[in-house]
Structure 1
Amino acid sequence: MFSHWFFLLAAIAVEIVATAALKSVVSAPWLVAFLPLALIGLSFALLSIALRVIPLAVAYAVWEGLGIVGIAVVGHLLFGEHLTAERIVALAAILAGILLLERGVGDAPVRTAQGRPA
């Protein structure tokens, strides 16, 4: 199961890079604009590997939640976007929600869409 969490974290990292790249390529030639799309595709591929073991609701919540937090930090550091106290509290709430959701993940086997164990 640990390796599947690695794939999920890799999917999150790629999503953060892809989203930051979207902002960077706004005025770039159209061919360069396809790079973020390719990265988003890679992120989904990595997420699909993680979903073989990690429950869908947990994996998607962690993927989106950490992606949101990561993009907020990248936006602040690279693009000078403001992180107000309210936004920081909201990001902390997202992280707290992810931790609470992840604690509910047991060792029960995950089933595929066909009903077979993963």
Structure 2
Amino acid sequence: MSPVTAAYLALAFAIVFEVVGTSFLMKSEQFTRWLPSVLVVVFYLAAFYLLSISLKSIPLGIAYALWAGLGIVLTTLIGAIVFKQSLDPAAVIGIAMIVGGVVVINTFSKTAVA
């Protein structure tokens, strides 16, 4: 596996772990429930560790754009599906714009691969 592929794989897992950690943040009830609170910390630590590994081959701005954009989309989907939170049309449009930005970065930017 090439270093760039490994970096993007680490970034993908970092994003997933951050989204899972954020989901447990909702369940922690402001850190009053100990198990979800511990899981928040564990998943965030794993996410940041994997993000740091990805930065060996992916430029910081690109990695963070992917981290933030995909994290927002996945967290919103979990909010809608798991926590039954609704989205209004403006939220859907905004999320579509975020997805569009991630696609543009990965399709057209020459800085997306170090």
- Mark the CA change 1:70 to 1:107 in structure 2 (over 3 Å): closer, same or farther: closer
| Aligned residue number for residue 27 of structure 2 | 24
Seq. identity, %: 31
Aligned pairs for 1:19-58 (under 5 A) are: 19-26=22-29, 28-30=32-34, 32-58=36-62
Q: Report the Cα offset of residue 7 of structure 1.
A: 0.6
> More deviation in 96-105 or 39-48?
96-105
Tell me the TM-score normalized by structure 2: 0.86
Tell me the TM-score normalized by structure 1: 0.84
SS at match of 2:82: helix
Structure 1 unmatched ranges of 5 or more: 110-118
| Aligned residue number for residue 101 of structure 2 | 97
Q: Distance in 1 between matches of 2:49 and 2:57?
A: 14
Aligned pairs for 1:62-81 (under 5 A) are: 62-81=66-85
Structure 2 unmatched ranges of 5 or more: none
- How many residue pairs were aligned? 109
Q: Does 1:3 align with 2:3?
A: no
Q: Distance in 1 between matches of 2:47 and 2:112?
A: 25
- Mark the CA change 1:47 to 1:30 in structure 2 (over 3 Å): closer, same or farther: same
Q: Which runs of at least 4 in structure 1 moved beyond 6 Å after TM superposition?
A: none
> More deviation in 45-54 or 27-36?
27-36
CA contact under 8 A between 2:19 and 2:74: conserved in structure 1? yes
- Mark the CA change 1:73 to 1:43 in structure 2 (over 3 Å): closer, same or farther: same
